[in-house]
Amino acid sequence: MRITRNAVAGTAATVGMTLALAACSSSAGTEASGSAAADGGDAVETVKMCALVSDVTSSEALAFRDYYTDYIASEFPVEFVYSDELTDAEAEKTAMEGFIANNCQAVISFASADRPTQLDMAEDAGIYYAVATGALSAEEYETFKDYEYYVGAIGPDAMTEFQAGYDMAQYFIGEGDTSFGIFGGGIPYYLEMHINRAAGMLTALAEDGTTSYGGATEMGDILGKIYADGTIKIQDFESDVYELTGYLETWDFDAAWQASMAEMIAADPDAILAVGTGNAILGSAVDGTDIQIGDIDAYTEDNLVAMENGTLGFLAGKFTSINGPIFAATLSAVQGEPYRTEDGSAFALSQGYWTATSAEEFQEIVDADNVESPVYDVDTLSPFVATGATYDEFADFVGKYTFADLVG
Amino acid sequence: MHDLNPTDVNKETDVTVDTRDDAKTTATSTTKAETTTKADAKAASKARRGKLFADLAPLIGLAVLAIAFVLVGTSSGTNMGYAVETLINQSVIIIIIATGAIFIFAMGSFDISLGASTLVAAMVAGLVHNATGSLWLMLGAAILTAVATSLISATLAAVFNLPVFVTTVAMLSVLGAVAAALVQTTGGAQIRIDRAFSREYDTLAVKLIVAAVFLALCVFLFNYTRLGRVEKLVGGNPMTAKLTGVSMKLTAIAAFGIAGLGVGLGAFLTVLRTPTLTVTSASDIGMNILVAMVFGGMVISGGPRSRIYAAIIGGISMALLNQTMSIMLQGMAGGAGIAQMVRAVLFLAVVWLAASGFRTKVLPR
Amino acid sequence: MGSFMQRATGTLIIPVGVFAVVWTLATLDGASLFSSGDSLLILARATAVTMLTTMALAINLNSGRFDFSLGAMALASSTIGASVAINVGGGFPVMAAVTVLSGALLGAFSGFLYVTLRISPLVSSLGVTLLYEGLAFTITGGGNISFTQYPELVSFGKSLVAMTAVIIIALIGVYTVFDRSRFGSDYRSLITGQAAAVSAGVKEKGNAIKTYAVSGALMGVVGLIQASSKGLIEAGSINFSTIGIMFTAFLPMFVGGYIGRYSNDKLGYLLGALSMSVIGLGYSALKLTSAQQSLITALLLVVFLIFLSNEERVGRWWRKVKGGNRTPQQPSDTDAAQSVGTGAR
Amino acid sequence: MTNDVVLTVTDMSKSFGVVRALKHVDFELRDGEIHGLIGENGSGKSTMTSIIAGSQPADSGTMLFQGAPWAPATVNESLANGIGMVVQESGTVPGITVAENLFLGETGQFTRFGIVDRRAMNKKASAALEAIGVEDLNPATPAGACDFQTRKLVELARVMMYEPKVVVIDETTTALAQDGRDLLYKAMDTHKTRGAVVFISHDLDEIMSVCDRLTVLRDGDIICTFDKDEFDEGAIRAAMIGRSMEGHYYREDNKATHHDEVWLSATGLNLENKLKDVSIEVRSGEIVGVGGLSHCGMHELGKALFGAAPLESGEVVSRGVKITNERRAVRNAFGYVSKDRDTESLSLTASIRDNIASAGLRLIGKGRAGLITKRAENAYVQTPIDQLEIKAPGAGTIVSTLSGGNKQKVVFGKWIACGTEVLILDCPTRGVDVGVKQAMYRLMTQLKDEGKAIVLISEEMTELMGMSDRLLIMKDGRVVREFERSADLNEMEIIECMI
């Protein structure tokens, strides 16, 4: 007799039976709660919303999270469940499975490794799904816009990202700067957001007649070249006016990376244009030089300090409560009133960044919008949660996102 | 699996003490002598129970985790039907790859590049599918790629006499670079295969069939053919194995071949499960298979105590634990950190129990 | 061991050779290795980090103890140190002291777990890695620690003098502790004669715990340097994402082991680390992508290993070619490779 | 000999589990004597001496050392207080220097502020080595760079350095060549003048020539003690075994016999500096002995014949097949028993079954498409277990728990079970007791009669002379002389050509 194998078989059988029994006995119950959620109606019932997040460490992500879990959850009948950091499509799927098993009624997704799979899973499970601070590609939108449980997307689309990069470069050009370094972040990983922003920067520089990147001057061509190279090649940058003195990408922090960074800083450009997390990565390195950083990030205390001491010259950033409207739309959907466009599709709305170029502007933004008193507060959002508001009214509401619109 | 039946264990203890002269000659055995007190019979039966307990520790761990999962899940209103299916979804790839890898670990080798080769194989499979639209070609490509990468490690190590571990450390980097290059061929950030296709085959049935066939093959090879014995022999004492006429090269190549097959099948299922592949895909697999194996009672240094079932037990245990923890800690800030610490403690506890019957006076290495 | 010339050649051939090759390649490419004023600082910093990590890896691996938790110890200790300094104050001295001390404690605890549980050190280190990553995550709730508001805490890593001092102090310290002290004498006897040393009364458990503590303290220093060179601590790294740093230590460890045959392995680790850092500068000068870099590093590792493992064969072949009858430089079976063999073949 | 008693053991018992290793033994050691202990493995001699030397405690009984109660807790404590022991296995640590080995665990005496004064340590080490007659050894040499014999002498020096009153030497000579033995005997003789020696050996001739008194142990009992003038080989053997030895110990015949077919033929073997142009032929039904000093190259020859050495030139051929590696060797019915049994011939953590089956897995699976069932395996393994009378409760017993003799039987069983025809035996009787030795010799004779070809490599001259049809003597990597089996082989003449 072989004890271990018998034990394996025995344990396996026991475990299997236990699980099977548990599975059968509870499936009836969940069926019921699932349909209750779908029916909605009862506004007092706490809605379980789950957030898929690919980034749990940046201060931007933490601020977004605090806005939901501290502010929104105390003002609306919702509870939030956050995923762990999701580094890839597999992790996203695993987290989705957990959400579905644990009866989440809606998923707000900040994770973009594999949106189609997330959408399919949500649709199959019959739970609402919304995209925050992002957008589906045109192709994806066509595929999924008719999904019953797809709420929609609010966030910077490709054009907005491009514009942010463009605006940044334009700002420094306006300041009279002529020599630039570029921090390309996740370009070699084909992070589309970063590629779009970098393309925006180069396109802005290329508006000068003598300037071109790899012979290209138009947004589409520049974008194409970056995609083809998977990087930015400073030797392909030609200009009589501007100078591209250095380029750095990724966050490796190893010797080679550090040497490249030191080289970029040693070239002493007027400004370093960062596609993202510029101050976090380069802030301490440029400390003590005249180099200014242009960054696309969040309104955090660290960035405020950097802007005060002159390291940070330009910041485009999402404000803390930027995810208010997508929450309102999702809750509205769970409670039985999803917003649909005229042809019945899920919505795809764009929101851009707020920009600050001085500590004063920065302070105004922070004062106007924070977790304690967000611009999208309960009074602003409530009219759009299952109140019979139309899609057009909602779209209009989302469209007015600038600092001027919201704060005045 | 090399098991001890109860009578064996019993008698074996007697033999341990029957070796008076030998017992004292090495420090290792001196412990046995020293720790064996006058209450001989008691000690003997205690030792026997200790070893039995050690053998059963992973199973006990599995049972406890299953119960905890059911209790926690039921009390917090989890959809258990879906949760159990999820359990299988989340563990089957790890189990397949880890079971294949046991052939490598049984012979005392350590391959840390399995996660990376899963990724590369999955990417090649994805590219082949996109080019041909065929399921079978995709499966073939996954297996071929994985077996080829695995054999490159094995050949490098065997031909040039390199320590396998460090060879696979190098392979890890190389495969990472290859993955980056593969992604670049698409001119984008990811290799993506047709959603409808992956949805069609990403079913429980496909997974269970693939797993059943491969696991049966592994169990057969490991327990009922020369190969498994030889792997354990090499793991127990490579010098002896060599001087018993075992070809180290062929043995290593066979082990890596089977592991490669497992990686290939794992990669195949990975493509179906997550049709969007990026350079970071499958990044957790490399370490998770290690944890799963050990959790299931595999001796990491291989040898006669290697068990082919370890990956199955460990893989399911890990999935149960992960699910239970995520139910319990959902919505908690820093929950991931706490969950991981709990995982660490349980992991160490199970390993400790599993090693409890096999202690020596000097520290294990 | 041969004449002074032989020893000097054996010691210096790798670092000098690497420098010559990298410098030549860079020059041919029209680039300079030391293109910026910070190049020396970067070289020193990278050398310090690599050397400390290599030592931390090697001191346990020499005893057949494989340690996945190096990165986790660096992460957790610097997280603790930075949190204390930020919340309690005291500036850099407090941060440095707390980081290194907690590194030593974390290391000691890891060693304590290993000797108490008596399980394979490799397996125990897997658990410890999870534990310490989880600890760092829990301390910050998963967020990064940023030093933007506390630049004084990270000026350490920007000082060439400080980095050079770290290298010198660590080298002398580790050499003294492991080669000259009673602890080191016991330590070395345990490496190759575990059973004999134990029966001769050497306290193995204590020795192991202390070795782990030293390893942890070294990784604490690494954490400190990394925090200051990055300007942030990524405390949210879990799921074994900290193990990568260990892999960077293999090549310098083998180089160090080789050099150790001619002089001293600790000096070897320094020279190995220096060689790697020069190569790193070369990568930057040649503008190689990170994929290309990791490919080349991997190839170097494999080639060097092949050389080490087949030195005898190479030597035999060489003697045949030369037809001379030089006494073979008998390799003492590459200590490091050997221990990797036992620890994790 | 002064006849003063330095050490008295009274009523000592020690059990391991249910087995009683020592049963109420009484033992007396006199000042100025070399006292031999002899007995089969497991007879209790090492148990007794290890208790005396502090490596384990007794269950009951008392000891008096120089008139005072004696109960050392550790080896070091014992050594510091006058009783030291040199054990059979290597006690040296290869990775540290000779000096560090001498002061292993005791470097504290040279330590100031935690730092070891190496110069002082080396100086003291040199003195300790010279004291036992080792002159030309630099104490700063890594012990790993020394040969086995030198390391053994380092251990001896380590013990002698403490100037113990009593020295226990446990089967150390097995590892030593003649010059090393001479140094040891000299050291023992010198030591007699200031204390006593307990000398354990399996070699009856040696023990009879070296010792002043001799105590025989069997099954945990002290059987009897002989004074020098009572030494008689037959009587001692009888006491050891408990019965008078039946038949002959070695082969009975005195004539070289063999069949005609050459089963093993090696020509022009060269290996580094270890083998120089060695050629050897072994025929079916022939036992070819190979002897010499430890480092004459005979062990390397054994490996080379099995295809396990990276030869620079030369080839090994068996019945038309070139043996280029171990796998080919085994496929062509070769078997190899290494002198390092635990590290090269056994998988210690595996069971008897696993070990014996390991060479015959193909045979077990034969006719079943390679399928190895538990039943077939057990059947395969049981034959040699029965034939060799391997003493173990079951085939599942882990080999590391067996005694040396039984371990060696497992190794033999592995090769016999798979039908080995060319057997290369390197020191097959090293560290096994007389009973097992005799069984081995009988087995070899039987294999010879079955027509197998055997190469017997040994450091024991009597064994070689007793078993070989032809005897090759090696020196410095060359075969220097060949002797044909005959009744009038002269041991002295053979030893002459080794040195």
Confidence at residue C325, expressed as pLDDT on a 0 to 100 scale: 41
Residues in D closer than 8 angstroms to B30, CB to CB, are 55-56
DSSP letter (8 states) at residue C258: H
**Does residue B361 register a pLDDT over 70?**
no
Q: Which residue's structure tokens are 């069939």? A: B209
Confidence at residue C225, expressed as pLDDT on a 0 to 100 scale: 93
Confidence at residue A17, expressed as pLDDT on a 0 to 100 scale: 66
CA distance A100 to chain B (A): 8
Rounded CA-CA distance D253/B43 in Å is 51
Task: Name residue A155's beta-bridge partners.
Answer: A350
Give chains near C: 3+ CB pairs under 8 A.
A, B, D
> What tokens were used for C159?
């000082």
Confidence at residue A38, expressed as pLDDT on a 0 to 100 scale: 41
Mean of the pLDDT values across residues A141-160?
92
Higher pLDDT, D56 or B359: D56
D11 to B263, D6, D60, D196: CA distances (angstroms): 65, 17, 7, 21
Residues in C closer than 8 angstroms to D114, CB to CB, are 181-183
Asked whether residue B126 is domain-assigned, the answer is yes
CB within 8 Å of chain B, chain C residues 235-264: 238-240, 243, 247, 250, 254
Task: Name residue D218's beta-bridge partners.
Answer: D221
Mutate to test the interface with A, among C148, C241, C289 (most CBs of A within 10 A): C148
Three-state secondary structure call for residue B180: helix
Q: Of B30, B38, B44, which has the smallest distance from its Cβ to D59's Cβ? A: B38
Supply the range of the domain harboring residue B249: 92-312
Mean of the pLDDT values across residues A226-246?
90
Rounded CA-CA distance B317/A11 in Å is 12
Chain A: residue nearest C226 by CA? A253
Assess contact for D381 and D352: CB atoms under 8 A: yes
Task: Name residue D472's beta-bridge partners.
Answer: D290, D482
Q: What is the pTM of this model?
A: 0.85
Where do the domains of chain A lie, and which CATH numbers do they carry?
42-157+320-352+374-406 (3.40.50.2300), 159-318 (3.40.50.2300)
**Does residue A30 register a pLDDT over 50?**
no
List the one residue out of D134, D62, D74 whose CA is nearest residue D102: D134
Higher pLDDT, B333 or C39: C39
Give the orientation angle of helix C265-285 with respect to helix C39-61, to 10 degrees: 140
Average model confidence (pLDDT) across chain A:
86
One-character DSSP codes across A41-52: --TTSPEEEEEE
Confidence at residue D133, expressed as pLDDT on a 0 to 100 scale: 81
Confidence at residue A37, expressed as pLDDT on a 0 to 100 scale: 41
One-character DSSP codes across A88-132: SHHHHHHHHHHHHHTT-SEEEE---TTHHHHHHHHHHHT-EEEEE
List the one residue out of D240, D236, D233 whose CA is nearest residue D434: D240
Confidence at residue D29, expressed as pLDDT on a 0 to 100 scale: 92
pLDDT band for C330, please (50, 70, 90 cuts): very low
Where do the domains of chain D lie, and which CATH numbers do they carry?
5-90+155-241 (3.40.50.300), 262-333+421-498 (3.40.50.300)
* Contact (CB<8Å) A81/B330: yes
Rounded CA-CA distance D298/B126 in Å is 59
For residue A261, the Cα-to-chain-centroid distance in whole angstroms is 26
Give residue C109's identity as a one-letter amino acid code.
F
List the one residue out of B115, B98, B52 whose CA is nearest residue B356: B52
Please state whether beta strands D313-318 and D262-271 pair in parallel, antiparallel, or not at all (unpaired): antiparallel
Confidence at residue B73, expressed as pLDDT on a 0 to 100 scale: 87
Q: Name the least confident of A36-40, A221-225, B240-244, D13-17.
A: A36-40
Confidence at residue A144, expressed as pLDDT on a 0 to 100 scale: 93
pLDDT band for A266, please (50, 70, 90 cuts): confident
Mean of the pLDDT values across residues A337-361?
92
Rounded CA-CA distance B342/D377 in Å is 44
Q: Of B3, B66, B331, which has the smallest distance from its Cβ to A19's Cβ? A: B66
**What ipTM goes with this model?**
0.83
List the one residue out of D252, D225, D294 whose CA is nearest residue D438: D252
Put simply, whether B360 touches D (Cβ < 8 Å) is no
Assess contact for A272 and A286: CB atoms under 8 A: yes
Rounded CA-CA distance B79/B334 in Å is 25
CB pairs under 8 A between B and C: 185
Confidence at residue C2, expressed as pLDDT on a 0 to 100 scale: 61
- CATH at residue C140: 1.10.3470
Q: Name the least confident of B24-38, B51-65, B107-121.
A: B24-38
Q: Of C143, C148, C232, which has the smallest distance from its Cβ to A306's Cβ? A: C148
Please state whether beta strands D321-322 and D313-318 pair in parallel, antiparallel, or not at all (unpaired): antiparallel
Mutate to test the interface with C, among A190, A251, A260 (most CBs of C within 10 A): A260
CA distance D189 to chain B (A): 25
Asked whether residue C62 is domain-assigned, the answer is yes
**Does residue A184 register a pLDDT over 80?**
yes
**Does residue C315 register a pLDDT over 80?**
no
CB within 8 Å of chain B, chain C residues 162-181: none
Is the alpha carbon torsion for B267, B269, B275, B280 positive or negative? negative
Report residue C9: phi and psi, to 5°.
-65, -50
Give exposure, A253-277, as e/b (b: 16+ Cβ within 10 Å). bbbbbbbbbbbbbbbebbbbbbbbb
Q: Name the least confident of B43-47, B103-107, B303-307, D69-73.
A: B43-47
Chain C: residue nearest A62 by CA? C143
Task: Name residue D62's beta-bridge partners.
Answer: D10
Higher pLDDT, B359 or D128: D128
Asked whether residue C315 is domain-assigned, the answer is no
Report residue D485: phi and psi, to 5°.
-60, 135
Which residues, 6+ apart, have CB-to-CB distance to D18 below 8 Å? B14, B17, B40, B41, B44
pLDDT band for B24, please (50, 70, 90 cuts): very low
Rounded CA-CA distance A166/A204 in Å is 5
For residue D224, the Cα-to-chain-centroid distance in whole angstroms is 25
Mutate to test the interface with C, among B94, B111, B173, B359 (most CBs of C within 10 A): B173
List the one residue out of A2, A132, A7 whose CA is nearest residue A80: A132
Is the alpha carbon torsion for A210, A211, A216, A217 positive or negative? negative
From start to end of A308-380, where are the E strands?
312-318, 347-350, 354-356
Assess contact for D472 and D286: CB atoms under 8 A: no
Higher pLDDT, D412 or C31: D412
Asked whether residue B338 is domain-assigned, the answer is no
**Does residue A33 register a pLDDT over 50?**
no
**Does residue B39 register a pLDDT over 60?**
no
**Does residue B9 register a pLDDT over 60?**
no
Which residues, 6+ apart, have CB-to-CB distance to B300 below 8 Å? B105, B110, B290, B293, B294, C120, C122, C123, C344
Three-state secondary structure call for residue B110: coil
Asked whether residue B116 is domain-assigned, the answer is yes
Asked whether residue C298 is domain-assigned, the answer is yes
Chain A: residue nearest B90 by CA? A94
Give residue B17's identity as a one-letter amino acid code.
V
Asked whether residue C317 is domain-assigned, the answer is no
C211 to D122, D240, D301: CA distances (angstroms): 26, 49, 43
Confidence at residue B358, expressed as pLDDT on a 0 to 100 scale: 65
Give exposure, C51-64, as e/b (b: 16+ Cβ within 10 Å). bbbbbbbbbbbbbb
Work out the angle at residue D298's Cα, subtended by the Cα atoms of residues D292 and D299, and round it to the nearest 5 degrees. 125
Give residue D59's identity as a one-letter amino acid code.
D
Assess contact for C337 and B103: CB atoms under 8 A: no
Rounded CA-CA distance B178/B189 in Å is 14
Confidence at residue C19, expressed as pLDDT on a 0 to 100 scale: 93
From start to end of chain B, where are the E strands?
191-192, 276-277
Chain A: residue nearest C225 by CA? A253
Asked whether residue B209 is domain-assigned, the answer is yes
**Does residue C345 register a pLDDT over 60?**
no
Q: Which residue's structure tokens are 């019993």? A: B10
pLDDT band for B331, please (50, 70, 90 cuts): low
Confidence at residue C310, expressed as pLDDT on a 0 to 100 scale: 82
Task: Name residue B3's beta-bridge partners.
Answer: none
Supply the range of the domain harboring residue C162: 4-309+326-343
Per the structure, how many domains does chain B have? 1
Put simply, whether B78 touches D (Cβ < 8 Å) is no
Q: Name the least confident of A262-271, B173-182, C189-198, D286-295.
A: C189-198
* Contact (CB<8Å) C202/D105: yes
Confidence at residue A130, expressed as pLDDT on a 0 to 100 scale: 95
pLDDT in tens, chain D (499 residues): 456 889 999 999 987 655 577 889 999 999 989 999 988 766 788 889 989 988 888 889 999 998 889 988 888 788 888 898 887 666 778 888 888 888 887 777 888 778 888 888 888 888 888 888 888 888 888 887 887 778 888 888 888 888 889 999 886 666 677 777 888 888 888 888 888 999 988 777 888 888 999 999 887 888 888 888 888 888 887 787 665 444 567 888 888 888 989 999 999 999 888 899 999 999 999 999 998 876 788 899 999 999 988 888 899 999 989 999 999 999 999 999 998 888 899 988 889 999 999 998 888 888 778 888 888 899 999 999 988 888 777 888 888 877 778 888 999 999 999 889 999 999 888 767 777 888 889 899 999 999 999 999 988 777 888 889 999 999 888 898 899 888 777 777 777 777 6
Average model confidence (pLDDT) across chain C:
85
Mutate to test the interface with C, among B114, B169, B256 (most CBs of C within 10 A): B169
Asked whether residue B279 is domain-assigned, the answer is yes
* Contact (CB<8Å) B20/D42: yes
Confidence at residue D245, expressed as pLDDT on a 0 to 100 scale: 46
**Does residue C218 register a pLDDT over 70?**
yes
* Contact (CB<8Å) C121/B365: yes
Mean of the pLDDT values across residues B213-229?
94
